[in-house]
């Protein structure tokens, strides 16, 4: 009788252990999912997902943060919203819109988007024209003007306005592997933006994504920028929009597996 009781006790303990392990595993998977950040290219002149329309400009959606952030709005609201529908993105789920600079291919989709969802914060460079700001406010959006670097939400920062001509802000996101830098057009110089990001968070740059403003550069100029990226310790790259075909080809040659081919519809997942 005692032997039967002992066997039964052992079986119960084994069953309890298995159940605890299963529950722990699911919780671990949930924690892992919650730690993921997804960057979706919603608008770009490079194609990735054939369901989406391509057009000159840039916009990407960043999910998995404290708030859902749309960085830039492309040049046309109809294309922007159509691409969102194709990707299953609900505009009402956006909390923050960050605009990099005043050029139409980065801000052209804003007002059409605000007509769908005006309950957002719009974070834009202080140097934007007053009439643009007034029109955005007329939709009911909350405007936050940026001059110096600032924290947008937990672990997400603006570089502040950079450049002496076309003033532009970029995003810097803190991750386990280093900073993720997202640029609109990189008018102030993509290497300068990388250096600003390193100083802002005092950490290495894991990934630079977006427009590198290198279209029309010669091979020697591009190779010099790539060399500077390597000197600055940039681990991965994902150039698109105004970067240019040659820029993408040369970066891919040097970075190999650490080159990410991006375009409209590409989703890049990263660990927070």
pLDDT digit string, tens, across residues 156-213: 999 999 998 899 999 999 999 999 999 999 999 999 999 999 999 999 999 999 999 9
pLDDT of residue 46: 98
Is the whole-model pTM more than 0.75?
Answer: yes
Contact 109, 116 (CB under 8 A): no
pLDDT of residue 24: 45
Task: Report the Cα 145 to chain-centroid distance in Å.
Answer: 20
Q: Could you tell me the maximum CA-CA distance found in the chain, to the nearest angstrom?
A: 89
pLDDT of residue 66: 95
DSSP track, the chain = -HHHHHHHHHHHHHHHHHHHHHHHHHHHHHHHHHTEEEEEEEEESSBSSTTS---SSEEEEEESSSS-EEE---S-HHHHHHHHHHHT--GGG--EEE---S-HHHHTTHHHHHHH--SSEEEEETTS-HHHHHHHHHTTPEEEEESS-EEEETTEEE---B-SSS-B--EEEEETTEEEEEESS-TT-HHHHHHHHHHHHTS-EEEEEEE-S-TT--HHHHHHHHHHHHHHT--EEEEEGGG-HHHHHHHHHHHGGGB----BT-EEEEE-
Closest CA to 169 of 156, 179, 184: 184
pLDDT digit string, tens, across residues 207-230: 999 999 999 999 999 999 999 999
pLDDT of residue 8: 52
- What residues of the chain score a pLDDT lower than 70? 1-34
């Amino acid at each position: 009788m005692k032997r039967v009781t002992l066997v039964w006790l052992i079986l119960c303990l084994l069953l309890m252990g298995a159940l605890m392990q299963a529950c722990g595993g699911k919780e671990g998977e949930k924690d892992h999912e919650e730690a993921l950040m997804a960057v979706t290219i919603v608008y770009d002149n490079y194609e990735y997902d054939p369901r989406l329309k391509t057009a000159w400009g840039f916009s990407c959606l960043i999910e998995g943060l404290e708030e859902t952030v749309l960085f830039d709005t492309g040049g046309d609201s109809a294309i922007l919203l159509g691409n969102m529908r194709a990707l299953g993105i609900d505009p009402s789920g956006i909390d923050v819109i960050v605009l990099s600079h005043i050029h139409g291919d980065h801000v052209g989709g804003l007002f059409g988007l605000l007509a769908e969802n005006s309950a957002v914060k719009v974070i834009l460079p202080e140097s934007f024209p007053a009439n643009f700001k007034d029109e955005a406010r007329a939709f009911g959006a909350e405007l936050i003007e940026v001059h110096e670097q600032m924290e947008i939400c937990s672990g997400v920062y603006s570089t502040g306005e950079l450049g002496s001509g076309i003033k532009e802000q970029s995003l810097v996101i803190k991750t386990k592997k280093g900073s993720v830098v997202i640029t609109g057009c990189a008018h102030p110089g993509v290497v300068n933006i990388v250096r600003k990001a390193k100083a802002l968070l005092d950490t290495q740059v894991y990934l630079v994504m977006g427009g590198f403003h290198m279209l029309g550069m010669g091979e020697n100029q591009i190779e010099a920028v790539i060399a500077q990226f390597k000197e600055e310790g940039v681990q991965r790259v994902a150039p698109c929009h105004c970067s240019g075909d040659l820029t993408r080809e040369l970066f891919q040659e040097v970075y190999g597996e650490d080159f990410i081919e991006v375009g409209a519809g590409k989703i890049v997942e990263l660990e927070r």
